[in-house]
Amino acid sequence: MPELSYREAVRDALATAMRQDDGVFILGEDIAEMGGSMGVTSGMLEEFGSERVRNTPISEMALAGAAIGAAMQGMRPVAEIMYEDFMTLAAEQVVNQAAKLRYMSGGQLTVPVVFRTQGGAGWSPGAQHAQQLEAWFVHIPGLKVVFASTPEDVRGLLWSSIYDDNPVVFFEHRTLYGIKGEVPEKIEPIPIGKARVHREGEDVTVIATGRLVHESLKAAEEAEKQGVSVEVVDPRTLQPLDEETLVASVKKTNRAVVAHEAVTRMGFGAEVASVIQYQAFDWLDAPIERVGAKFAPLPFAPVMEQFIVPHSDDVLAAIMRTVGRNGD
Amino acid sequence: MPELSYREAVRDALATAMRQDDGVFILGEDIAEMGGSMGVTSGMLEEFGSERVRNTPISEMALAGAAIGAAMQGMRPVAEIMYEDFMTLAAEQVVNQAAKLRYMSGGQLTVPVVFRTQGGAGWSPGAQHAQQLEAWFVHIPGLKVVFASTPEDVRGLLWSSIYDDNPVVFFEHRTLYGIKGEVPEKIEPIPIGKARVHREGEDVTVIATGRLVHESLKAAEEAEKQGVSVEVVDPRTLQPLDEETLVASVKKTNRAVVAHEAVTRMGFGAEVASVIQYQAFDWLDAPIERVGAKFAPLPFAPVMEQFIVPHSDDVLAAIMRTVGRNGD
Amino acid sequence: MAKVETKTSLAKGDLRDVLREMLLIRRFEEKVEERFRAGELPGFLHVAIGQEACAVGVCRALEDGDIIASTHRAHGHTLAKGTHPNELMAELYGKAEGCSHGYGGSMHLYDVERGNMGANAVIGGGLPHVTGAALAFKMRGEPRVALAFFGDGATNIGTFHEALNLAQLWKVPAVFVLEDNHWAESTPESQHSPIRDLSDRAKAFGMKALKADGQDVEAVYKTTRQALDYARSGKGPVFVHLDCVRLHGHYIGDPQVYRDKDEARKLAETRDPITLLREKLAVSDEEFDELDAEVTEIVEASVDFAKNGTDPAPEDALKNIYA
Amino acid sequence: MAKVETKTSLAKGDLRDVLREMLLIRRFEEKVEERFRAGELPGFLHVAIGQEACAVGVCRALEDGDIIASTHRAHGHTLAKGTHPNELMAELYGKAEGCSHGYGGSMHLYDVERGNMGANAVIGGGLPHVTGAALAFKMRGEPRVALAFFGDGATNIGTFHEALNLAQLWKVPAVFVLEDNHWAESTPESQHSPIRDLSDRAKAFGMKALKADGQDVEAVYKTTRQALDYARSGKGPVFVHLDCVRLHGHYIGDPQVYRDKDEARKLAETRDPITLLREKLAVSDEEFDELDAEVTEIVEASVDFAKNGTDPAPEDALKNIYA
Ligand SMILES: Cc1ncc(C[n+]2csc(CCOP(=O)(O)OP(=O)(O)O)c2C)c(N)n1
Ligand SMILES: Cc1ncc(C[n+]2csc(CCOP(=O)(O)OP(=O)(O)O)c2C)c(N)n1
Ligand SMILES: [Mg+2]
Ligand SMILES: [Mg+2]
């Protein structure tokens, strides 16, 4: 099996779809000559030309909206919003338009558009270039929401997103672009709505997304050394959510930790915790732990930034807290 | 004690603050001659003139941003965003600017601005004029979030919001403007961060916001007839959240229902349920029930609209489900 | 597709048909006002009484395959783009037979088969869609044009600026039709815009701008034709400024406390587009009454159709969320 | 406050000081590049090498009490508005002594006491604040002006359109300074804007527009003066278009694969604002070296100051969230 970086995996999904399908094109700020602010689309201008690798002016709202309009006319555009924080500028189009057009038209319209964006702490970009806003879009009926954590997943899920007939908000994590992993020779679509069990375990289930999947796997290894067996599950798609897999895992382990980089309060973990406490109430031996960013904007100074966002030791501490409780 | 409608109570807080304080002014679309789309600011132009009751063009982003700029220079502007759905257009300014300016400046800046907005189903305005988005803003450190359900609360909390030195997102519910209630002769500020226990009870705690406070009180009366004693608590401020009062109530009743009009998935109830399962785990005799809108945009046809959003019978059903569980 | 042959002006016979269509829209909207006041219609409704020449003049100029995006004030555009009054009225009654099957309502009217990509209740919300649709046409080499309606108030929102800027930058076949009725809800133009000629908005993008009297349906038709030809030929988008009047309130039920009562009365007397066309065509009272009776019957029938329509089942609300 | 007396041009002595200040900014930014490459500076950094005349010319023209809002490319503006190099450098090192106490970083520089309301990492994000600040000044009858810097790329975003439109509508004392370096990140102006003279953007609002060579600090000063006087006198906002050059990459470390190497080299040879001023003032090599040594020492000292600064405690991250 070939090895790709997360960055290359994203690019491979885009390029392969564009090779096989004239309707697929990409648009965004500085995605052409420069290959995007994270180098994801690097080299694509040369292969596909400026009609299909389309630099846009700084107009997040209109570029999102133009992608929607093209999608309504049968294209499959993939729009890049350079930083997740700028999704706020495209929010009207994503939330009031893309998500609702099919519904408001009573099923007449189809809007097969993907909004790719990225974010994450770790490089001290400060409060306006690092926040994680995936929870917002999970709250909006009509959208699908994907957040992949490995090269294999990001490629297979982006592929599925491009060919999904619904608007998909597709989150990437900045610090993952460099990680490498094996991927199937040929792109295999990964169904939207299927969680991935990264590691089986008996004592506690950690449900994690994005960067925190990796932090959780690290924490799980550490916990193992301390005699605690940890199952790590990545929902991968936040909407639809594979409640079945998550709940089944917790029914097996009787304990749960939810981990993401976004602020804990009103973060995606709140939804997961609510679902689990409801569906696995009689199985739970301890309160569900939530691990996420502390309640602050992201500060600049690295020492403060690292304090705000969670790491493997935070996940480990949560694991230990939850197994420290007596079951009943 | 005088009686005011919810609408008059909002107006009274605005007008009283404007009478006593030159720094307070209001701005928004059609708030002057027309008195706003909901008539809230009706008559204020006549009293305060067009400098302080400032009609704006259709520019949600700039009117929010201009309010922020004026607040940074020591004014206390209250910006009206006509419909909650249009908060998406102001989101960048509210979320990346107002919420973070103090922090990014290391405490140099103060941004005492209020963003008033309203929404809610009930009048069949359709998918782009009725959604409830309060959960979004609860996720953003630096903002305070208020959602009042009675004339007394809306007046006292708006007063506190105007004089709070932080940006406040202030939600009103369209269907509540007409309800009447007694208010103190003189405006008494209500602390931001204090829940209100509307009704004491022994068997189950219903935590509700906005319109659902009234639906929950109705459901509580009905439950009473069926022998179930219900406590109804309105957090009133979603950020900061009075966790103490909520948790204390659930520790007493051992059962909880969370109710709001917004979509259940990733709604405010998810956060409340997560907090309660964590802090009152050993006290809970049943899973926490969540009552909210079904997972759909708001449809136009009244019969469908009413199906999507929750009513007192949905709260009642949740109460009955939760008391139907055996405690352990 | 071959390039369609261009008609640059309306023939006399066409004009009689145009009058009939404008009158149909007028009677339809008057009926909507009546039924709303009778408490039969839910939702927020906005009539475009006084702006019929814009809707009809513009939509007549379109070719098959061209598409439109409309606004909150959409009944006229929808009828002019070919939706049957029955389907429109059924939608306003929230019926399954409605053009949005009861999911949309007055501010969300769609008829995708007929090229109506929808009304939009968010000011400016549809403008980037038109840029994007036109881009799709251009990328596929289709000789189609995407056309957006919007109001004077909409020229203040960022979406307008971004969408038109992008359209010009990419030289897509789009036409942006400003129906300038000089009001944005309760706010007169002088209070919402710093410039007195909204055609100047196009200068920020270097976009070709045309202007016409929006009360003169022939002028509207001709100007739109010109704009469509230009856009279709690949030269880029066009901004069309139609000077028009809003004879009634912003929404049905609007007491218009903010407006001088005389203004609307005077406009109704001097600038009613139906009266103007009728005079131009020298339609006799008898002829006019005949036309009127004919369209009134259609409107009445649409109310019957709507009232006899099917209420969606409550659970239908869970359909059509995802494809 | 009484109306401040107006200086319409810079005296000879001032100009020598201006040269020194521009050189200080240049050396400061070169040092920042060096320290970034050495791996000492976290975050995303953008230098404005080549644009020093804009920062200095504009800020010199301001009166006490006037305020500015800056962009992601903020070092020059910040120094020119009076922040000490020590405090700026300390911020870039993430120290408590920094002008944002380590919470902001290069894209979020503040010095509120000195009227710098902050850099902004969101394109266009600060523009409506300037409209609002100017509104506050106007409402309180204070003779102050609020001034925003922004780039050519920023003229494409809706925030720009809305904020300038509102400022003109309300006739607030604001000045909007476009630093047109003809690049938005990797995107040349011809690819991001459909018009070739960005002064035309002001026409959409009917805003008074002035233009100057942004490499000529005297011209920048004079033009800004004119704009400030106009705004301060209550006549409304002014759009100031400065034609300038970006000599280095978009961000530090930018390999500029998208840019012809010759372009930047030629610009450095012919349009470096420091060289231009130096020639105009006929500064001898000795004099220049003296100046250079002087500012270099200040810059070196700022690095020492920064390195010896206090790291915030991790828990400090939980402060300053709410007032
Ligand atoms: C973004 C947004 N802001 C506010 C509104 C409320 N609103 C509906 S119509 C309208 C006025 C629109 O004026 P104009 O564009 O001139 O259209 P007209 O009503 O005159 O047809 C306003 C403010 C809205 N629908 N969308
Ligand atoms: C809303 C938004 N979109 C995109 C970016 C990423 N970005 C940072 S600087 C920049 C280019 C800005 O160009 P211009 O306004 O000309 O300023 P310059 O960099 O030339 O000083 C872009 C696209 C951003 N910071 N904010
Ligand atoms: Mg109008
Ligand atoms: Mg630039």
Q: Which domain holds residue B232?
A: 196-322
Helices and strands per DSSP (H, E), number in chain B: 12, 14
Q: Contact at 8 Å (CB) between D78 and D93?
A: no
Q: Are residues B141 and B204 in the same domain?
A: no
C103 to A66: CB separation less than 8 angstroms, yes or no: no
pLDDT at D133: 98
Residue D153 to residue A60: CA distance in whole angstroms: 12
pLDDT at D12: 79
Q: Are residues B68 and B175 in the same domain?
A: yes
Q: Contact at 8 Å (CB) between D114 and D65?
A: no
Atom of ligand 1 nearest to the CA of C157: 1
pLDDT at C12: 79
The residue contributing the CA closest to ligand 2 atom 25 is D122
Ligand 1 pocket mutation, candidates C106, C123, C156, C242, criterion most atoms within 8 A of CB:
C123
Backbone phi, then psi, for D184, in 5-degree steps? -120, 100
Among candidate residues A8, A29, A80, A129, the one labeled active-site is A129
Residue C317 to residue C313: CA distance in whole angstroms: 8
Q: Are residues B8 and B157 in the same domain?
A: yes
**Hey, what are D99's tokens?**
């002008």
A263 to B95: CB separation less than 8 angstroms, yes or no: no
The residue contributing the CA closest to ligand 2 atom 20 is D184
**Cβ(D309) – ligand 2 distance below 6 Å:** no
Q: Contact at 8 Å (CB) between D36 and D45?
A: yes
The dihedral built from the CA positions of residue A214, B140, D159 and B68, taken in this order, carries a sign that is negative
Atom of ligand 1 nearest to the CA of A92: 1
Residue D203 Cα distances to A26, D147, D153, D206, angstroms: 32, 19, 18, 5
Chain centre to alpha carbon of residue D182: 16
Q: Looking at the predicted structure, is the pLDDT value of residue C128 above 80?
A: yes
Classify residue B190: in a domain, yes or no. no
**Cβ(C182) – ligand 1 distance below 6 Å:** no
Atom of ligand 1 nearest to the CA of B29: 23
What integer is the mean pLDDT of A313-325?
96
Classify residue B155: in a domain, yes or no. yes
Classify residue B187: in a domain, yes or no. no
Residue B105 to residue D111: CA distance in whole angstroms: 8
Tens of pLDDT along A108-124?
999 999 999 999 998 89
Q: Contact at 8 Å (CB) between D148 and D177?
A: yes
Backbone phi, then psi, for A26, in 5-degree steps? -120, 145
Q: Which of residues 18-37 of A touch C (CB under 8 A)?
A: 25
B288 to A265: CB separation less than 8 angstroms, yes or no: no
Classify residue B328: in a domain, yes or no. no
D207 to C194: CB separation less than 8 angstroms, yes or no: yes
Closest A-chain CA to B290: A274
pLDDT at C2: 38
Residue numbers in C near D209 (CB within 8 A): none
Residue B122 to residue B117: CA distance in whole angstroms: 16
Q: Which residues on neighbouring strands pair with residue B234, listed in sequence order? A: B196
Ligand 2 pocket mutation, candidates D54, D71, D72, D157, criterion most atoms within 8 A of CB:
D72
Q: How many domains does chain A have?
A: 2
Backbone φ/ψ region at D166: left (φ over 0), alpha (ψ -120 to 50), beta = alpha
Among candidate residues B8, B29, B60, B134, the one labeled active-site is B60
Atom of ligand 2 nearest to the CA of D73: 21
Q: For testing the chain C interface, which of B300, B307, B311, B314 should be mutated: the one with the most C CBs within 10 Å?
A: B300
Reply yes or no on whether B139 is catalytic: no
Q: Contact at 8 Å (CB) between A145 and A200?
A: no
Q: For testing the chain A interface, which of B139, B166, B207, B237 should be mutated: the one with the most A CBs within 10 Å?
A: B139
Q: Angle A211-225/A312-324 helices, nearest 10 degrees? A: 50
* Chain C contact present for A110, CB below 8 A: yes
Q: Contact at 8 Å (CB) between D182 and D172?
A: no
Q: Classify strands D238-243 and D174-180 as parallel, antiparallel or unpaired.
A: parallel
Residue A235 Cα distances to A160, A197, A243, A247, A312, angstroms: 15, 8, 9, 11, 18
Q: Are residues B92 and B142 in the same domain?
A: yes
Q: Are residues B114 and B226 in the same domain?
A: no
Q: Contact at 8 Å (CB) between A77 and A63?
A: no
Q: Are residues A54 and A129 in the same domain?
A: yes
Residue C49 Cα distances to C27, C52, C184, C266, D196, angstroms: 9, 7, 15, 14, 41
**Cβ(C195) – ligand 1 distance below 6 Å:** no
CA B155-B158-B161 angle, 5° bins:
150
H helical segments located in chain B: 6-20, 44-48, 60-72, 87-91, 99-104, 134-138, 151-163, 211-225, 243-253, 268-279, 302-308, 312-324
pTM for the predicted model, two decimal places: 0.98
A133 to B139: CB separation less than 8 angstroms, yes or no: yes
Neighbours of D8 (CB within 10 A): 10
Backbone phi, then psi, for A219, in 5-degree steps? -60, -40
SS3 content of chain C, % helix, strand, coil (to 5): 50, 10, 40
Reduced to 3 states (helix: H, G, I; strand: E, B; else coil), residue B4 is strand
H helical segments located in D38-126: 52-61, 75-80, 85-92
Chain centre to alpha carbon of residue B26: 19
pLDDT at B26: 99
Classify residue A327: in a domain, yes or no. no
Reduced to 3 states (helix: H, G, I; strand: E, B; else coil), residue A117 is strand
- At D212, which amino acid appears? A
Among candidate residues B129, B198, B214, B260, the one labeled active-site is B129
Q: Are residues A176 and A233 in the same domain?
A: no
What integer is the mean pLDDT of C30-39?
98
What integer is the mean pLDDT of D155-164?
98
Q: Looking at the predicted structure, is the pLDDT value of residue C6 above 60?
A: no
Q: Which of A148, A182, A216 is the last residue of a domain?
A: A182
Tens of pLDDT along C189-215?
999 999 999 999 999 999 999 999 999
Backbone phi, then psi, for A206, in 5-degree steps? -105, 120
**Cβ(D104) – ligand 2 distance below 6 Å:** no
Classify residue A190: in a domain, yes or no. no
CATH number at residue A60: 3.40.50.970
Q: Contact at 8 Å (CB) between D237 and D190?
A: no
- Is ipTM > 0.90 here? yes
Reply yes or no on whether B29 is catalytic: no
Ligand 1 pocket mutation, candidates C52, C54, C72, criterion most atoms within 8 A of CB:
C72
What integer is the mean pLDDT of A210-221?
98
pLDDT at D9: 84
- The average confidence (pLDDT) of chain C is 96
Subunits with at least 3 CB pairs below 8 A relative to chain D?
A: A, B, C
Residue ranges of E strands in C110-173: 146-151
Longest CA pairwise span in chain B (Å): 64
Neighbours of C260 (CB within 10 A): 10
- The average confidence (pLDDT) of chain D is 96
Please choose, from the candidates C226, C236, C231, C239, the residue with its C-alpha nearest in 3D space to the C-alpha of residue C6: C226
Classify residue B327: in a domain, yes or no. no
Residue C279 to residue C301: CA distance in whole angstroms: 28
Q: Which of residues 170-189 of B touch D (CB under 8 A)?
A: none
Classify residue A141: in a domain, yes or no. yes
Q: Contact at 8 Å (CB) between D50 and D151?
A: no
pLDDT at C4: 43
Task: State the residue for tokens 């039924």.
Answer: C35
Q: Contact at 8 Å (CB) between D235 and D24?
A: no
**Cβ(B82) – ligand 1 distance below 6 Å:** yes
Question: Residue-wise over D306-319: b if at least 16 C-beta within 10 A, else e?
Answer: beebeebeeebbbb
Tens of pLDDT along B101-140?
999 999 999 999 999 999 999 889 999 999 999 999 999 9
Q: Looking at the predicted structure, is the pLDDT value of residue D5 above 80?
A: no
What integer is the mean pLDDT of A146-153?
98
**Hey, what are B8's tokens?**
């008059």
Tens of pLDDT along C284-309?
999 999 999 999 999 999 999 999 99
- The average confidence (pLDDT) of chain A is 97
Q: Contact at 8 Å (CB) between C166 and A62?
A: yes
Q: Which of residues 37-96 of D touch B (CB under 8 A)?
A: 67
Q: How many residues does chain B have?
A: 328
SS3 content of chain B, % helix, strand, coil (to 5): 40, 20, 40
Residue C316 to residue B301: CA distance in whole angstroms: 10
CATH number at residue B257: 3.40.50.920
Residue A210 to residue A173: CA distance in whole angstroms: 6
pLDDT band at A327 (very low <50, low <70, confident <90, very high): low
Q: Are residues A49 and A124 in the same domain?
A: yes
Q: Are residues A147 and A203 in the same domain?
A: no
Neighbours of D177 (CB within 10 A): 27
Residue B103 to residue A149: CA distance in whole angstroms: 30
Q: Are residues A162 and A240 in the same domain?
A: no
Q: Contact at 8 Å (CB) between A256 and B240?
A: no
H/E stretch holding B76 reads: strand B76-81
Name residues whose C-beta falls within 8 Å of residue D293's C-beta, 6 or more positions apart in sequence.
Answer: none
Q: Are residues B40 and B171 in the same domain?
A: yes
Q: Contact at 8 Å (CB) between C163 and C130?
A: yes
Residue C24 to residue C35: CA distance in whole angstroms: 16
pLDDT at B327: 56
Q: Are residues A92 and A32 in the same domain?
A: yes
Q: Which residues of chain B are modeled with pLDDT < 70?
A: 326-328
The residue contributing the CA closest to ligand 2 atom 9 is D185
